[in-house]
C-alpha cells in the first residue's frame, strides 16, 4: 500500500462517526463484543483477552453537530463530554456492549454515572487507577481492580479469561507499542516524511481496528513513507503537550505544520504509549500490568507526581530525546487537569531554557487563524533564537 | 441590595462561640511558625482532623481560607493575581484564590498571616483538582506532601478493596510520615478519644439537620447550614469545643422548635415559610447574603442540602467509630458527598425531597467545580421525573465575583417561586 492509500483508509475511519468498522468486526463472527473506553488509560489487554474489541471514544470532533448533548451540560465545561453524550444518544455507540470511564478527571468520572443512568442495558464501569505507587499498597488495590474488570468481562463473554489469554494479549500490545515507538522515532528523525497529521490519523485508526491489524498498518506506513521522498521544510521542532483528552481538530494539527512547526513528540492518544516498556509475558499477568502502570508509565497531569523535583521531567526528556527546540502547550478550554498542570510544566521548562507557547482549543474550534499565527511567530522566534 | 447585616441582629451564643473558635484557629495558625508548632494543610472532604491532632499539628484548610476570603469580598483580586501569574481563567477559583493569597504575602482572611506548612496532606477525596492544587502549592514550599488516594464510589458502595487500600495507606504511609514530620509518636488511644468526641458532635449535627423535617423548619439547611458545618468539617472535629458548640446549637434550635419559629437570617427572624426547598451544589460566597436574601424574602427555606455533606455524610448513619478507628477514618473519607456516584447522589436528593417534604429542588451549578457540576442537569431531570417536583437551575461561582450575576439569578428564582406558587395553588384547589 502507498502512504496515500494508508492515510485515506485512516481518514475514512476517523471520519466515520458511526463506527462502522466496529459493526463490521462484530458482524464477521456471531457473538463478538466491543467495549468502548475514554481517554487516557485502560488496560486494553484485558478486553482483548476476553476476545472483545477495545474501541477508543475521543469525542465528536468538529464534524458532529451537538444537539442533545448541550442540554446535559452547564456553560463552563470542556466539550468532550457533550459530544460523547451526543454520540451515545444518537445511537452511534450502539455497537458497543459496554463503556469504560478511566480515572482522569471529575468530568469523565461523573460521565460514568450519567452513562449508568442513560444506557441502562450496557455494561458501564468507572476504572479507578492508583495515585500512589507502592506495590504492596497501590499494587494490591490495582490488581484487585484489574481482577474485577477481568471477572466482569469474562462474565460478559460467558467464559473466564485465563492467564494465558492475558499473556498472549500482553504480547500483542507489546508489539503494538513497539510499532508505535518505531513510528514516533521515524517521525522524530524525518518529520517531513511522516507529518503529524498522518501520524495522528494512524493512531486514531488504532482506536477502532483490531490491534494486530493496527500494528501491521503502522509498519506498512513506515515502510511506505520511507519509499517516498517528500519535501523538507525549514520548520522548527516542537513537542505538543496537553492534548491527551479532548482532541484538537485535525485542521489544527495541520495548521501547526503549515505554520512552521514539526511536531516531534506529543501526548496524543496516550493509551497507545502509556506503558513505557514491554510488559513481561512470563509470571502473573495482572501483577505485570500493575507493575508496568505503577513504575513504567507516562507522566501526565492525570497522575500524581510524588516528587516535586520530578515535575516536568518527563516533558523535558521528551524534548531532549526527540531533539525538539520548544514546546507548544495546547489544552482544551476548561480542562482543569491540563490547565492547572501547565504553569508547573512551564516553570520546569524555564529552568532549563526551553521556549514554549500556549493556547487553548475546543474539539470544534473553527477559527484557526489566531493559532496558526501564534505557532508561526513561535517558530520564527525559535529560528531566530537558534540562529 | 442588602448584603450588610443590620447591626441590631442579636447573635445567638452558638454564633459567638463559632466566631471565637474560628478566630482562635486563625490566631494559632499565625503564630505557629514562630512558636515552632508544626502545621498541616489539608482539604475538607476526607480530612483526618482527629488523626492530625494526634500529632499536635495545627490545621490549615485552604478551601476555608478561600471561602472566608470570598465572604469578605477579597477573592476577586486574589483570583486576578493568580491569573496574572499564569493561571488560566478557566480553572477552579478556589485554587486561584489560594494561590493569589500566597502571592500577596499569604495574609489570611482575618488579616493574620498564614504559616508555611510543614506537611501537605492531600486527601484526594471526591475531587481531581485537589491533586493539582497541592502540586501547585508544593512548588512554593519545601515540605512533604502525603497523597492519600481515596477511590471513587462509582458503583454506589464501598468495597473491601477500597477500604483496605485506604487503611493501608493510613497505616503504612500517612501515620509514619506524620510521625516523622511532627516528631510525635502515634497514640491510638488518643485517636480513639478524639473520635469519641467526633461521634457526639456528629449525633447533634444530624439532629440539627433533621430538625428541618419540621414545619416550619427551625433552620435553613443550606445558607444556615454552611455555618452549622463550619466546626465539624474543619479544625474542630474531635475537639471538646466542637461537642460543646453542637450541644449549644442544638439547644437553641430545640428552643426555636418549641416556639414554632423559623430560621435565623442575617436580617433577623424568617417570616412565614412559603416554600420548602432542597439545594444541590455549593453556595456562592462572594454574594452570600444577597443570594440568601433572594430566598428568605420570598419565604423560601432550604430544608436539606448536599453541600452540608461534603465534609462527611452523617445523616445516613455513619459515625466516626473509636472501636475501629482507622477503618472508620477510611469509611469517612470514602463516604464524603462528592465521592458518591451520580446515581447515588440522585437517590440521596430524592430521599431528601420526600423526607423533608420539599416543594422543589434548586441546583446551583458553579463554574469552578466539575466534581459537583458535571452531570447536574441530568440529575435535575431524573429528580424531577422521580419526584414529580419542579427544579430550578442557576449558574454562579463559589468565589469569583465575575460569575455572579445578581439580576439573572434573581430573575430565575423569582419565576421559579411563581411557578411553585401556582403549582401549590392548583394542588390546594
Ligand atoms: S478535556 Fe480535560 S476536563 Fe475535559 S474531560 Fe478531558 S481531562 Fe477532563
Ligand atoms: S473543583 Fe470543586 S471540590 Fe475541587 S477544589 Fe474546586 S471547588 Fe473544591
Q: In this predicted model, what pLDDT tens digit does every residue of B105-119 receive, in sequence order?
A: 999 999 999 999 999
Using a CB-CB distance cutoff of 8 angstroms, which residues of chain A are in contact with residue B149? 130-132, 138, 304
Check pLDDT > 60 for residue B1. Answer: no
Query: Cα separation of B5 and A235, whole Å?
Result: 63
Q: Region A209-216: what's the mean pLDDT? A: 98
A106 touches B at CB < 8 Å: yes
Return the pLDDT at B9: 60
Q: Region B197-202: what's the mean pLDDT? A: 98
Using a CB-CB distance cutoff of 8 angstroms, which residues of chain A are in contact with residue B377? 71-74
B85 vs chain A: nearest CA distance in angstroms?
A: 9
Return the pLDDT at B423: 87
Burial per residue of A238-262, b for 16 or more beta-carbon CB atoms within 10 angstroms, e otherwise: bbbbbbbbbbbbbebbbbbbbbbbb
- Atom number of ligand 2 nearest to Cα B45: 3
Q: Rounded to a whole number, what is the largest CA-CA distance in chain B?
A: 70
Query: Cα separation of A307 and B135, whole Å?
Result: 9
Return the pLDDT at B424: 83
Binary contact (B395, A74; C-beta < 8 A): yes
Return the pLDDT at A386: 76
- Distance between Cα B284 and ligand 2 center (Å): 13
Check pLDDT > 50 for residue B69. Answer: yes
Q: In this predicted model, what pLDDT tens digit does every residue of B203-217 receive, in sequence order?
A: 999 999 999 999 999
Closest C-alpha to ligand 2, atom 7:
B369
Query: Cα separation of A55 and A157, whole Å?
Result: 16
- Name the band, by pLDDT with cuts 50, 70 and 90, for residue A201: very high
Nearest to B55 by CA among B160, B196, B187, B146: B187
For residue A339, give the ligand nearest its CA: 1
Share of chain B above pLDDT 90, in %: 95
Query: Cα separation of B267 and B1, whole Å?
Result: 13
Angle subtended at Cα B324 by Cα B322 and Cα B329, rounded to the nearest 5 degrees:
85
CB atoms within 10 A of CB A15: 12
Using a CB-CB distance cutoff of 8 angstroms, which residues of chain A are in contact with residue B88? 331, 339-340, 342, 360
Query: Cα separation of A214 and A205, whole Å?
Result: 7
DSSP state of A240: E
Q: What is the end-to-end Cα distance of chain A in Å, rounded?
A: 40
Q: A255 near A374, Cβ under 8 Å? A: no
Return the pLDDT at B8: 54
- Distance between Cα A76 and ligand 2 center (Å): 14
Q: Which three cell numbers stand for residue B110?
A: 482575618
CB atoms within 10 A of CB B11: 12
Return the pLDDT at B425: 77
- Atom number of ligand 2 nearest to Cα B126: 3
Nearest to A327 by CA among A261, A240, A258, A235: A240
Pick the CATH number of A3-165 from 2.40.50.840, 3.90.245.10, 3.40.50.2300, 3.40.50.11890: 3.40.50.11890
For residue B43, give the ligand nearest its CA: 2
Return the pLDDT at B142: 85
Q: How far, CA to CA in Å, does A60 sit from each of A9, A57, B386? A: 19, 8, 31
Helix (H, G, I), strand (E, B) or coil at A23: helix
- Distance between Cα B43 and ligand 2 center (Å): 10
Interface of B with A in 292-351 (CB under 8 A): 341-343, 345-346
Residues 6+ apart with CB under 8 A from A5: none
DSSP state of A129: -
Q: In what order do the strands lie in the sheet with A34-37?
A: A53-56, A34-37, A98-102, A123-127
Check pLDDT > 70 for residue B2. Answer: no
Angle subtended at Cα B394 by Cα B388 and Cα B399, rounded to the nearest 5 degrees:
140
Place of cell 470544534: A364
Return the pLDDT at B379: 98
Q: Region B279-289: what's the mean pLDDT? A: 97
Question: Which residue does chain A place closest to B377, by CA atoms?
Answer: A72
Q: A270 near A358, Cβ under 8 Å? A: no
Q: What is the mean pLDDT of chain B?
A: 95
Binary contact (A112, B377; C-beta < 8 A): no
Q: B393 near B399, Cβ under 8 Å? A: no
Check pLDDT > 70 for residue A232. Answer: yes
- Asked if residue B368 has its Cβ within 6 Å of ligand 2, the reply is yes
Nearest to B216 by CA among B375, B356, B102, B425: B356
Q: B91 near B12, Cβ under 8 Å? A: no
Domain boundaries, given as residue ranges, for chain A: 3-165
- The interface pTM score, or ipTM, of the predicted complex is 0.97
Using a CB-CB distance cutoff of 8 angstroms, which residues of chain A are in contact with residue B85? 343
Return the pLDDT at B5: 43
Nearest to A56 by CA among A272, A311, A327: A272
Share of chain A above pLDDT 70, in %: 100
Burial per residue of A30-67, b for 16 or more beta-carbon CB atoms within 10 angstroms, e otherwise: eebbbbbbbbbbbbbbbbbbbbbbbbbbbbbbbebebe
Least CB-CB distance to B154: which of A126, A134, A342?
A: A126
- Distance between Cα B127 and ligand 2 center (Å): 6
Residues 6+ apart with CB under 8 A from B16: none
Q: In this predicted model, what pLDDT tens digit does every residue of A247-258 receive, in sequence order?
A: 999 999 999 999
Amino acid at each position: 500500500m502507498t502512504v496515500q492509500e494508508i492515510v485515506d483508509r485512516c481518514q475514512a475511519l476517523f471520519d466515520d462517526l458511526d463506527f462502522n468498522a466496529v459493526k463490521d468486526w462484530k458482524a464477521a463472527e456471531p457473538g463478538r463484543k466491543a467495549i468502548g473506553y475514554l481517554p487516557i488509560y485502560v488496560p486494553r489487554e484485558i478486553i482483548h483477552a476476553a476476545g472483545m474489541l477495545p474501541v477508543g471514544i475521543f469525542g465528536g470532533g468538529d464534524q458532529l453537530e451537538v444537539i442533545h448533548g448541550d442540554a446535559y451540560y452547564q456553560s463552563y465545561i470542556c466539550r468532550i463530554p457533550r459530544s460523547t453524550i451526543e454520540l451515545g444518544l444518537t445511537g452511534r455507540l450502539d455497537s458497543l456492549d459496554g463503556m469504560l470511564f478511566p480515572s482522569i478527571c471529575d468530568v469523565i468520572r461523573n460521565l460514568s454515572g450519567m452513562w449508568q443512568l442513560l444506557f441502562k442495558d450496557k455494561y458501564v464501569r468507572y476504572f479507578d487507577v492508583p495515585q500512589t505507587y507502592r506495590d504492596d499498597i497501590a499494587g494490591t488495590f490495582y490488581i484487585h481492580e484489574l481482577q474485577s474488570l477481568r471477572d466482569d468481562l469474562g462474565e460478559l463473554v460467558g467464559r473466564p479469561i485465563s492467564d494465558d489469554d492475558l499473556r498472549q494479549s500482553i504480547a500483542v500490545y507489546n508489539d503494538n507499542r513497539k510499532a508505535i515507538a518505531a513510528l514516533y522515532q521515524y517521525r522524530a528523525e524525518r518529520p517531513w516524511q511522516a507529518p503529524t497529521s498522518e501520524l495522528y490519523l494512524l493512531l486514531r485508526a488504532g482506536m477502532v481496528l483490531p490491534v494486530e491489524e493496527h500494528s501491521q498498518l503502522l509498519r506498512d506506513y513506515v515502510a511506505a513513507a520511507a519509499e517516498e521522498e517528500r519535501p523538507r521544510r525549514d520548520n522548527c521542532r516542537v513537542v505538543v503537550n496537553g492534548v491527551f483528552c479532548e482532541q484538537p481538530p485535525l485542521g489544527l494539527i495541520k495548521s501547526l505544520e503549515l505554520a512552521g512547526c514539526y511536531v516531534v513528540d506529543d501526548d496524543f492518544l496516550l493509551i497507545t504509549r502509556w506503558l513505557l516498556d514491554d510488559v513481561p509475558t512470563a509470571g502473573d499477568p495482572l501483577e505485570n500490568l500493575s507493575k508496568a502502570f505503577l513504575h513504567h508509565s507516562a507522566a501526565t497531569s492525570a497522575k500524581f507526581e510524588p516528587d516535586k523535583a520530578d515535575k516536568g521531567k518527563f516533558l523535558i526528556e521528551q524534548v531532549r530525546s526527540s531533539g525538539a527546540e520548544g514546546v507548544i502547550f495546547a489544552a482544551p478550554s476548561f480542562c482543569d487537569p491540563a490547565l492547572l498542570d501547565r504553569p508547573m510544566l512551564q516553570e520546569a521548562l524555564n529552568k532549563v531554557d526551553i521556549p514554549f507557547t500556549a493556547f487553548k482549543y475546543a474539539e470544534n474550534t473553527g477559527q484557526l487563524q489566531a493559532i496558526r499565527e501564534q505557532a508561526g511567530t513561535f517558530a520564527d522566534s525559535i529560528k531566530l533564537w537558534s540562529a | 441590595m442588602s448584603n450588610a447585616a443590620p447591626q441590631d441582629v442579636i447573635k445567638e451564643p452558638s454564633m459567638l462561640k463559632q466566631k471565637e473558635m474560628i478566630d482562635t484557629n486563625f490566631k494559632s495558625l499565625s503564630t505557629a511558625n514562630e512558636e515552632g508548632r508544626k502545621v498541616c494543610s489539608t482539604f475538607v472532604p476526607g480530612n483526618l482532623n482527629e488523626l492530625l491532632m494526634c500529632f499536635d499539628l495545627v490545621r490549615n484548610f485552604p478551601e476555608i481560607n478561600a471561602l472566608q476570603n470570598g465572604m469578605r469580598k477579597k477573592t476577586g483580586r486574589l483570583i486576578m493575581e493568580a491569573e496574572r501569574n499564569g493561571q488560566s481563567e478557566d480553572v477552579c477559583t478556589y485554587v486561584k484564590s489560594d494561590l493569589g493569597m500566597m502571592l500577596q504575602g499569604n495574609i489570611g482572611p482575618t488579616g493574620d498571616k498564614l504559616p508555611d506548612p510543614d506537611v501537605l496532606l492531600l486527601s484526594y477525596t471526591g475531587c481531581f483538582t485537589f491533586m493539582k492544587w497541592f502540586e501547585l502549592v508544593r512548588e512554593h514550599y519545601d515540605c512533604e506532601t502525603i497523597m492519600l488516594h481515596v477511590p471513587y464510589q462509582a458503583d454506589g458502595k464501598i468495597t473491601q478493596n477500597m477500604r483496605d487500600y485506604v487503611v493501608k495507606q493510613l497505616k503504612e504511609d500517612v501515620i509514619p510520615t506524620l510521625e516523622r514530620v511532627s516528631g510525635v509518636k502515634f497514640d491510638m488511644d488518643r485517636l480513639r478519644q478524639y473520635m469519641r468526641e467526633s461521634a457526639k458532635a456528629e449525633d447533634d449535627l444530624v439532629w440539627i439537620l433533621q430538625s428541618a423535617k419540621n414545619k416550619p423548619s427551625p433552620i435553613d439547611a443550606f445558607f444556615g447550614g454552611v455555618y452549622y458545618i463550619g466546626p465539624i468539617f474543619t479544625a474542630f472535629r474531635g475537639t471538646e469545643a466542637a461537642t460543646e458548640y453542637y450541644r449549644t446549637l442544638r439547644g437553641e434550635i430545640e428552643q426555636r422548635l418549641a416556639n414554632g419559629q423559623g430560621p435565623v437570617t442575617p436580617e433577623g427572624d424568617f417570616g412565614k415559610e412559603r416554600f420548602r426547598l432542597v439545594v444541590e451544589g455549593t453556595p456562592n460566597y462572594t454574594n452570600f447574603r444577597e443570594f440568601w436574601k433572594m430566598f428568605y424574602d420570598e419565604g423560601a427555606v432550604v430544608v436539606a442540602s448536599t453541600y452540608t455533606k461534603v465534609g462527611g455524610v452523617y445523616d445516613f448513619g455513619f459515625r466516626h467509630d473509636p472501636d475501629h478507628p482507622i477503618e472508620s477514618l477510611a469509611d469517612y473519607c470514602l463516604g464524603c458527598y462528592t465521592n458518591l456516584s451520580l446515581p447515588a447522589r440522585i437517590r440521596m436528593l430524592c430521599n431528601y425531597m420526600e423526607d423533608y417534604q420539599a416543594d422543589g429542588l434548586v441546583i446551583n451549578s458553579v463554574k469552578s467545580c466539575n466534581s459537583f457540576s458535571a452531570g447536574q442537569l441530568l440529575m435535575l431531570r431524573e429528580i424531577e421525573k422521580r419526584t414529580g417536583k419542579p427544579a430550578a437551575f442557576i449558574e454562579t461561582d463559589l468565589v469569583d465575583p465575575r460569575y455572579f450575576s445578581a439580576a439573572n439569578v434573581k430573575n430565575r428564582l423569582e419565576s421559579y417561586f411563581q411557578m411553585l406558587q401556582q403549582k401549590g395553588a392548583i394542588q390546594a384547589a
